[in-house]
Structure formats: structure tokens, C-alpha cells
Amino acid sequence: MLQVAAAVIAREDRVLACRRRADSAHPGKWEFPGGKRRPDESLAECLRREIAEELGIEVVVGPELWRTRHQYPNQEPVELFFFLVTAYRGSIVNHAFAEVRWVTAGALSELDFLEADRPLVEQIDRREIHLA
């Protein structure tokens, strides 16, 4: 099963959401940044590498917030691990997405998130998962 590490990057009461480019799988969908774990790395190492590549920042990987398994049609099943990030070094530079946006917790559900991310988005919006 493919493993993916994703970052819930929180600042005050806002969360960074990223919209996929038109030329990617699931074009135009919103997601939390991150990516596929390589065989030789931990989930935290994967997340630090992916965020550096996608957003140009060095993150401090916090606690695991949530995990799930999902299978999109005609794709390999995926196990997703979502980690809280409340600290990072550098300035965010978008290297990989159509758009990045700080969204107030409570308004994330207004965006068209990937199906696998939606349960987490709803929990954040209902304040069932704390970002501080």
C-alpha cells in the first residue's frame, strides 16, 4: 500500500490549503501539502522533504493528527498520515500547486477537497481536532 504524509500547516486560526494544478491527478481539488513516502525514509523525513520541494520551507513535524486509508478508482490504495505543523523556517514559495491559500478553520469545507481529506477537513471545521 502506498503511504503518504501530509502536513496540516496551522498559523493562528488558519490552515494552509493547496489546490492541485490542471495537469495533475484530481485537477483543481484542494489538499494538504505532502507526498509519497520513499522506502528508505520515515514519514517525518518524507514530510520534511515533500514540503521543502513543494513550498520551499523547512517544517517542524508535530504530532500525528489523523490517518486513513482510501482508494480512488483505478489507483493503488493509499494510507494517509496527517501531521500538525505549527512552526517552519523560511517563506512559503509555491513550487507545485495552482494556488495556495490560508483558510480560516471553520471554512475549509467550503473548498473542494480531495475525497480522502474530507473527513479531516470536517473535523477541523467542527473544532474536533485542535490546531494549537
pLDDT single digits (tens) 23-54: 998 999 999 999 999 999 999 999 999 999 99
Residue 13 belongs to what domain range?
A: 2-100
The answer to whether position 14 is within a domain reads: yes
Number of domains making up the chain: 1
Which set of grid coordinates corresponds to residue 27? 485537477
Cell of residue 6, nine digits: 501530509
What CATH number is given to the structural domain containing 92? Answer: 3.90.79.10
Angle at 69 between CA 63 and CA 75, to 5 degrees: 130
Backbone angles phi, psi at 61, to 5 degrees: -80, 120
State pLDDT tens for residues 65-81. 999 999 988 889 999 99
Residue 121 lies in a domain: no
